[in-house]
Structure 1
Amino acid sequence: MDTNRTAKLEFAVQMSCGSCVNAVKSVLEKEPGVEAVHVDLAKEQVLVETALTSLQVQSLIESTGRRAVLKGMGGTETDLGAAVAMVSGAGLVQGVVRFLQLSQERCLIDGTIDGLTPGAHGLHVHELGDLTQDCRSCGDHFNPFRKQHGAPQDSERHVGDLGNITAGPDGRASFRLEDSQIKVWDVIGRSLVVDSGEDDLGRGNHLLSKITGNSGERLACGIIARSAGLFQNPKQICACDGVTLWEERDRPIAGKGRKVPDAPTANL
């Protein structure tokens, strides 16, 4: 379900002067949903406590003309773990979904996925982190208690049942959910899958309704991996290929296009 509970987001932001700090603070502090802002010019760091999605906060910061990269997420309580899935699939479908354990009972799920057809798409955690046959080898929905498929708010549901996300006319689905059954420590190493159609939440008449929500083919997927919490990601330059924090945002995680041939190594 959607949530207004706040979380803390740590961004690296390209700043060089006091006016940069003032510009970033000004645009964030006047935005509804932002509870607190702390800017450290020396570290080029912005910490925001907010109920907004990470994409919304990043867009606000970048509206000042400065680039921003999310480096970590945390709750208002003790760090209970965070994870991330880099989702990709057919055509131009790709995105990032982050999991943050706010408490023993509540997990925050923050994501943006592009390249979707407009409308609703089923979102599920699957039992296997196996992409050897693309999304086909991810196994079934994560269902350790052997229940029937349902909606996120149902007691009778798979743990991996996260309902639907909705893509707008531009093909982008940006969402911020809170779930009572997902635990970060249980889903690390498993996979996150986006389906081609709408999940009927177990309420349909199709034979697959109580199994998968009859949400169509597996459109895109990614392995859920442990990620950095607040102040746990000091990386500025990737040691393996010299790609900087700022360059990395516009390039593939690996493979073709990751490093520009003969380009000088950038320094921060």
Structure 2
Amino acid sequence: MIPPFETTFAVPLSCEDCIKDISGSLYKINGINKVNANLKEQLVSIEGTAAPSAIVEAIQATGRDAILRGTGKSNSAAVCILESHASHVENKVRGLVRMVQVASNLTIVDLSIRGLSPGTYHATVRETGDISEGPESTGPIWEAANAKKKGSPARGIFGTVEVGKGGVGTVFLDKPIEIWEMIGRSIVVAHQQDGKFDKNDADTLVGVIARSAGVWDNDKTVCSCSGKTVWEERKEQVDRGML
């Protein structure tokens, strides 16, 4: 059983009615234990076991946007932006993987993809973070060699996600893995689990796993490099295909 964890989201809030509206929508989700909102800071904090993607969807259902600002404790969260390396694809970003370690040797994985052909996709962690040649340069599945010797599944095999007719797929998994073990590696999402990948296949995605902010580690309201607010950055990300 997954222990509860905390996530915080930046949400545009104008009054107490906004908080009531959002809270009502969130408490309809299974796995929500507590919702706290800070009108002044424009932040909503949620405690429970619900997937961050489900939380964002519930907030957006009220007509407001939401940006994930942090998940879990310091050094316990990671993120992977999944992109297509196909030359003919205009919007390269087609997926996002959020990961948070909620206990010793237990990490939850929240994977969302969109804009892909319907079917079953395999998500695997690869040995390296080299995506210079798309999925082909990422190396073998993480710890596949050791797993073969032991006769057990490789830890890098996350599982499958089903993409429907609308081109969208989501999956929420828990794995006996620690966050620090995955930082700097990569994730491949493709129709096939392993073998020779085709980087020009628009339905094959790849991204590098990077450390993400803990629940109180990211207080950014303006990007230090561009001077843009998080909402301006959010619009650009959505335009690029970010979930």
Give the TM-score taking structure 1 as reference length.
Answer: 0.78
Q: Is the 8 A contact 1:36 1:50 kept in 2?
A: yes
What does residue 133 of structure 1 align with?
A: 133
Amino acid at match of 1:241: S
Report the Cα distance in structure 2 between the residues aligned to 1:22 and 1:31, rounded to whole angstroms.
15
Q: Is the 8 A contact 2:83 2:94 kept in 1?
A: yes
Q: Give unmatched runs, 5+ long, in structure 2.
A: none
What does residue 162 of structure 1 align with?
A: 158
Q: Is the 8 A contact 1:11 1:69 kept in 2?
A: yes
Report the Cα distance in structure 2 between the residues aligned to 1:133 and 1:225, rounded to whole angstroms.
19
The within-5 A match list for 1:115-126 is 115-126=115-126
1:30 Cα deviation from its structure 2 partner = 3.5
The 4+ residue runs of structure 1 with deviation greater than 6 A are: none
1:85 Cα deviation from its structure 2 partner = 0.5
Q: Is the 8 A contact 2:74 2:213 kept in 1?
A: no
Q: Is the 8 A contact 1:196 1:217 kept in 2?
A: no
Q: Is the 8 A contact 2:14 2:39 kept in 1?
A: yes
Q: Give unmatched runs, 5+ long, in structure 1.
A: 200-211, 258-268
What does residue 241 of structure 1 align with?
A: 226
Report the Cα distance in structure 1 between the residues aligned to 2:117 and 2:148, rounded to whole angstroms.
28
1:195-234 superposed Cα distances (whole Å, 9 cap, x missing partner): 124x4xxxxxxxxxxxx3x696561110000110111111
For 2:173, which of 170, 177, 192 is the aligned residue? 177
Alignment partner of 1:251 is 2:236? yes
Report the Cα distance in structure 1 between the residues aligned to 2:74 and 2:218, rounded to whole angstroms.
14
What does residue 188 of structure 2 align with?
A: 193
Q: Is the 8 A contact 1:33 1:52 kept in 2?
A: yes
Amino acid at match of 1:188: I
1:184 Cα deviation from its structure 2 partner = 0.9
SS in 2 for 1:249: helix
Question: CA 1:147–1:4 in structure 2 vs 1: closer, same or farther (change >3 Å)?
Answer: closer
Question: CA 1:251–1:82 in structure 2 vs 1: closer, same or farther (change >3 Å)?
Answer: same
Aligned length: 231
What does residue 203 of structure 1 align with?
A: none
SS in 2 for 1:147: helix
- Greater RCO (Cα-Cα under 8 Å, separation 6 or more): 2
What does residue 97 of structure 2 align with?
A: 97
Amino acid at match of 2:191: S
Q: Is the 8 A contact 1:99 1:109 kept in 2?
A: yes
Question: CA 1:109–1:184 in structure 2 vs 1: closer, same or farther (change >3 Å)?
Answer: same
1:88-119 superposed Cα distances (whole Å, 9 cap, x missing partner): 01335611101111112211111211122212
1:178 Cα deviation from its structure 2 partner = 0.1
Question: CA 1:50–1:117 in structure 2 vs 1: closer, same or farther (change >3 Å)?
Answer: farther
Amino acid at match of 2:47: E
1:41-87 superposed Cα distances (whole Å, 9 cap, x missing partner): 1111111123322121111112222221111111xxx6561111011
1:130 Cα deviation from its structure 2 partner = 0.8
RMSD, aligned CA: 2.6
The within-5 A match list for 1:70-109 is 70-74=68-72, 81-89=76-84, 90=86, 91=89, 92=91, 94-109=94-109
Q: Is the 8 A contact 1:195 1:217 kept in 2?
A: no
Q: Is the 8 A contact 2:3 2:103 kept in 1?
A: no
